């Protein structure tokens, strides 16, 4: 945990942002895999971690805005629990680590919430995402479970986004520490990228490196020679000569801060001439986007800059044509990069997405587009010092999308479909770094994972 002052201060700031009522924050519980006592790896709720830091099951908390009081609800472990789980700290001890004096049995949560409702006090909660907590909220509020999400508090959600968007020095230190593990994960994958190695084997090693380095993976590993499928979780291919291996993987720190990087490695150790050309385009987009990342700049504009770099490169290769600005304004480049440049990262790999990604990434000034490609951009608003974000341009040749657009004669003034036929087996390239927005501009978190053609070719397939 961070210092208890960290949590006390966060709750104090939250109280200043909420007018009145109770803030109800539910922790997560174990979720069964196949029978009740055989559970998935426990992951505490990120909002609970942010305000309380206690990484355990069976907890809920109330921040009483009107009475300036914080209450932790949960039950002390019994002797039976101790037999199976070993010695445990008391509720009072846990609460003290978070700077809370008052604890109550979990069963008291229901009466506390009912009393508040009967007095017409507001009960604020953020949109729940787990079935068990939706059911619990339905019971506590005495409403149908389908009504729960509608009653979540926009006031609380916006306040949480305001606080969590700007990372504190202790959070940046925690993230930066985990970058060593991220570096090891990706350089290991690059070294393992040799013909005859199954994707599954590399995926397993990556999960192990993450776990050895402090925590579980921050999202399911993408490790595929079919990198054109953006979130490819199939690991059944064998690496072969000429393939490009795309690895998008991240690790959670002990306090559950995420890393998220992508590298693309030639399986034979050297890029072919065509692979190198496309790779350089993506690298140029990554570098130019980072150079443009600074406070006051809307990330949507940085995204569009990266798209222009990609369009310009593809035009040079004869795959696109026409005016670059017009092509990007029309969204023609999205055939090659259908996703956004990046997202916030922190306690969640897509930080705060349980709240609503549009609320996190957009505001009154920068509204979310509905255009294919740009609509997938999760962060569009102006950047501020203390934001931690990803920079992840890519170029993909997705046969089904190419065929779909070609059949519809889409953007024929910008796309050379004839030449594109040769690229249908190419795959995809994505290059992703994690950035901290500083007062002056931004910097890459951690040591940069090998990324230039020379660096990648030097490490590719060298073995571990
Ligand atoms: N790992 C998913 C992403 O890069 O956003
Ligand atoms: Mn990623
Ligand atoms: Mn990402």
Q: Are residues 157 and 194 in the same domain?
A: no
Per-residue pLDDT tens for 105-120?
Answer: 999 999 999 999 999 9
One domain, residues 304 and 453 = yes
Q: Which residue has the higher pLDDT, 35 or 214?
A: 35
Domain co-membership, 179 together with 314? yes
Residues spanned by the domain of 442: 169-459
Query: What is the rounded average pLDDT for all residues in the chain?
Result: 98
- Burial (0-12, 13-18, 19+ Cβ within 10 Å), 144: exposed
pLDDT tens digits, one per residue of 368-381: 999 999 999 999 99
CATH number of the domain within which 47 lies: 3.40.350.10
Query: Residues 159, 190: one domain?
Result: no
On the 0-12 / 13-18 / 19+ scale of CB atoms within 10 A, 282 is: buried
Domain co-membership, 112 together with 197: no
- Please report whether residue 237 resides in a domain: yes
For strand 388-391 and strand 32-35, is the pairing parallel, antiparallel, or unpaired?
unpaired
Q: What is the pLDDT of residues 110-158, one digit of tens each?
A: 999 999 999 999 999 999 999 999 999 999 999 999 999 999 999 999 9
Number of domains composing the chain: 2
Please count the residues of the chain.
464
Domain boundary among 164, 183, 203: 164
- Among 164, 186, 201, residue at a domain's last position: 164
Tell whether ligand 1 has an atom less than 6 A from the beta carbon of residue 219.
yes
CA of 433 to the centre of ligand 3 (A): 8
Is 248 near ligand 1, meaning CB less than 6 Å away? yes
Q: Does 176 share its domain with 278?
A: yes
Same domain assignment for residues 369 and 418: yes
Q: Are residues 240 and 98 in the same domain?
A: no
Ligand 1, pocket-test mutation among 219, 232, 252, most atoms within 8 A of CB = 219
Structural domain contains residue 143: yes
Tell me, what CATH number does 202's domain have?
Answer: 3.90.230.10
Alpha carbon distance 393, 25 (integer Å): 36
How far apart are the C-alpha atoms of 212 and 205, rounded to whole Å? Answer: 10
Task: Let me know if residue 363 belongs to a domain.
Answer: yes
| Residue 207 and residue 148 in one domain | no
State the pTM of this model: 0.97
User: Is 65 part of any domain?
Assistant: yes
Same structural domain, 194 and 281: yes
Of 381, 337, 339, nearest to 358 by C-alpha is: 381
**Structural domain contains residue 93:** yes
112 and 186 assigned to the same domain = no
Task: Name the residue with tokens 């060298």.
Answer: 462
Same domain as 176, residue 133: no
pLDDT at 29: 98
3-class state of residue 39 by DSSP: strand
In angstroms and rounded to an integer, the radius of gyration of the C-alpha atoms of the chain is 24
Task: Give a three-class secondary structure readout of 289-358.
Answer: HHHHCCCCCEHHHHHHHHHHHHHHHHHHCCCECCCHHHHHHHCHHHHCCCCCCCCECCCCCCCCCCCCHH
164, 197, 227: which is the final residue of a domain? 164
Q: Is 260 in the pocket of ligand 1 (CB under 6 A)?
A: yes
Residue 128: other Cβ atoms inside 10 A: 20
In a domain, 464, yes or no: no
Contact of 73 with 59, CB cutoff 8 Å: yes
């Amino acid at each position: 945990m961070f210092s208890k002052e960290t949590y006390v201060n966060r709750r104090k700031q939250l109280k200043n942002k909420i007018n009145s009522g109770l803030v109800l924050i539910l922790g997560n519980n174990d979720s069964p895999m196949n029978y009740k006592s055989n559970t998935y790896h426990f992951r505490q709720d990120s909002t609970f971690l942010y305000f309380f830091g206690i990484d355990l099951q069976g907890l809920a908390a109330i921040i009483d805005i009107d009475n300036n009081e914080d209450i932790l609800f949960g039950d002390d472990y019994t002797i039976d629990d101790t037999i199976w789980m070993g010695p445990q700290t008391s509720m009072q001890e846990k609460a003290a680590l978070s700077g809370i004096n008052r604890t109550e049995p979990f069963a008291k949560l229901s009466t506390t919430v009912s009393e508040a409702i009967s007095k017409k006090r507001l009960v604020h909660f953020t949109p729940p995402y787990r079935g068990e907590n939706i059911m619990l909220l339905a019971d506590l509020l005495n409403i149908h479970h389908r009504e729960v999400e509608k009653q979540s508090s926009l006031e609380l959600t916006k306040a949480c986004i305001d606080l969590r968007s700007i990372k504190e020095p202790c959070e940046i230190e925690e993230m930066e520490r985990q970058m060593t593990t991220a570096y090891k994960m990706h350089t290991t994958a690059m070294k393992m990228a040799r013909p005859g190695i199954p994707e599954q084997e590399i995926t397993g090693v990556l999960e192990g490196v993450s776990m050895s380095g402090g925590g579980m993976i921050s999202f399911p590993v993408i490790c595929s020679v079919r990198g054109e499928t953006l979130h490819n979780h199939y690991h059944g291919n064998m690496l072969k000569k000429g393939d490009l291996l795309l690895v998008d993987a991240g690790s959670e720190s002990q306090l559950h801060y995420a890393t998220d990087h992508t590298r693309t490695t030639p399986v034979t150790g050297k890029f072919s001439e065509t692979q190198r050309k496309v790779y350089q385009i993506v690298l140029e987009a990554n570098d130019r986007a980072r150079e443009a990342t600074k406070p006051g700049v809307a990330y949507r504009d940085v995204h569009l800059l990266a798209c222009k770099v990609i369009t310009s490169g593809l035009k040079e290769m004869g795959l696109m044509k026409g005016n670059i600005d017009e092509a990007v304004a029309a969204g023609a480049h999205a055939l090659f990069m259908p996703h956004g440049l990046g997202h916030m990262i922190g306690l969640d790999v897509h930080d705060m997405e349980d709240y609503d990604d549009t609320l996190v990434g957009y505001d009154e000034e920068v509204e979310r587009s509905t255009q294919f490609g740009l609509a997938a951009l999760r962060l569009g608003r102006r950047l501020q010092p203390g934001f931690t974000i990803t920079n992840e341009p890519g170029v993909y040749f997705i046969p089904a999308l190419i065929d779909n657009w070609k059949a519809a004669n889409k953007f024929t003034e910008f796309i050379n479909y004839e030449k594109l036929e040769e690229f249908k087996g190419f795959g995809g390239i994505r290059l992703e770094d994690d950035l901290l927005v500083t007062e002056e501009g931004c910097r890459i978190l951690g040591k940069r994972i090998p990324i230039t053609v020379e660096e990648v070719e030097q490490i590719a397939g060298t073995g571990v």
